[in-house]
Amino acid sequence: MKKIIFLLTIMLFQNVLAVDELKDVGIAKYAVLEVVADNIPIREKPDENAKRITHLFRDTVLFADKENKNYYRVELDENKYFWVNKKHVEVQAIIPEKRIDNVKKISFKEEKNKYKINLETDFKTSYIFKEDNTNLDFTLYDNYFDNIETKVVNKKDVFKIPEKFVRDLSLKYTSNKPLFGYDIESYEEGYIITVKKAPKVNRKRPLKNIKITLDAGHGGVEKGACAFGLEEKTINLQIVKKLKKEFKKQGAKVYLTRKKDKKTDLYYRIAYAKEKDSDILLSIHQNSLPNIKDIDKKYGVGTYYYHPQAKSLAENIQNSLLKATKFRDDKVNYASFAITRASLPVSVLIECGYIIRKEEADKISNKKFQKIIAKAIVEGSEKYLKDNFMQ
């Protein structure tokens, strides 16, 4: 009972605070905002560290009803509110009611390994993707579509526009296999959504023809973590080169975001992986801690994912690395890194070991041990493909 009262008090207190700090955006109800750059996050709370709900392109139109210090509050789903930093938007007008736009045309195109859905619309409004294993739900807010159709692409993969929406467009994708990467691009006439088809995986050679981009973390002036005379960027590249060899042996097509010791932009790394039409993006790192005082708290190998579709890949790689390295388990972790936030390709980040721990630094910098690491990552990737996509 005490606990309940305590929780209630906190909830009430939070409510009071929130209402207190909120200000109306004008005498009329909504401020029309336009996003001024690409890849702008919409967050769960008015805070730079709050969870990201979605990312928007330049020129996206948003409607804000309240403001709180550096943030505007935007209503996406009815009565669901999220936040955008004021520095990322410009106020275009103050209006009494939301303007609801109209999607002019939706067209589907099937390519060899992907589907492309083109949404033509006069104004770009905000959207959210939701993933659930074999389902992908896309909602385009404040943009309705009155020409209802059900598009069955083939028996395994189905796109549906489920019902007539007065305000938002909903597009649902269902497959008989787990999701294998998706993306959205913005162009003058609207949006193009890409959904990758599940790969056809062969039991004996699961990696055959799978396209893999390998990313050696950091590079050039960005050395990454350093300890015992070792630099993370160098170890990352050494492991990536061994990975390339092992993946190629198994029939995969391999691309490297950097082949040399060169400073490389994070978003370039993702753009490069997309340009190569990669299926999987693996980013290789060696771990450290922001505070060396915590050195006795963290050990071993850890793998990071952001999108649910990448979790199985992360788990398989982690299990395989644990067995091969005998390092302690720093777990499969959900993490919002630029690399893991890529939804195309399926992306994970691997911290092979802690460079700041002598016993681990000795191993991750050892050529023979690096080969053990590389083989384990390849085996984990094979198991992911077999578990999820075998015919």
Q: Which residues bind Zn ion (CB under 5 A)?
A: 217, 224, 285
260 exposed, middle or buried (CB, 10 Å; 0-12, 13-18, 19+)? Answer: exposed
256 with 268: CB under 8 angstroms?
Answer: no
**What span, in angstroms and rounded, lies between the C-alpha atoms of 38 and 174?**
29
Name the nearest CA neighbour of 126 among 173, 174, 163, 73.
Answer: 73
Question: Which of helix, strand or coil describes residue 314?
Answer: helix
| Comparison of 187 and 267: residue with beta carbon closer to Zn ion | 267
Scan for tokens 């994708």, then name that residue.
173
| Comparison of 22 and 266: residue with beta carbon closer to Zn ion | 266
| Comparison of 124 and 357: residue with beta carbon closer to Zn ion | 357
Q: 345 preceded by cis ω (within 30°)? A: yes
Beta bridge partners of 120: 105, 190
Shortest separation between residue 265's beta carbon and Zn ion, angstroms: 15
CA 11 to centroid of chain Cα atoms: 31
**What span, in angstroms and rounded, lies between the C-alpha atoms of 7 and 51?**
22
Shortest separation between residue 217's beta carbon and Zn ion, angstroms: 4
Shortest separation between residue 231's beta carbon and Zn ion, angstroms: 11
Shortest separation between residue 296's beta carbon and Zn ion, angstroms: 21
Could you list the beta-strand ranges (E) of 141-295.
143-144, 150-152, 158-160, 169-174, 182-187, 190-196, 211-216, 226-227, 230-231, 253-256, 280-287
Shortest separation between residue 219's beta carbon and Zn ion, angstroms: 10
| Comparison of 56 and 321: residue with beta carbon closer to Zn ion | 321
Shortest separation between residue 386's beta carbon and Zn ion, angstroms: 29
| Comparison of 302 and 380: residue with beta carbon closer to Zn ion | 302
278 with 213: CB under 8 angstroms?
Answer: yes
Give the residue closest to Zn ion by C-beta.
Answer: 285
Name the nearest CA neighbour of 134 among 196, 199, 179, 181.
Answer: 179
Shortest separation between residue 269's beta carbon and Zn ion, angstroms: 12
| Comparison of 198 and 314: residue with beta carbon closer to Zn ion | 314
| Comparison of 70 and 336: residue with beta carbon closer to Zn ion | 336
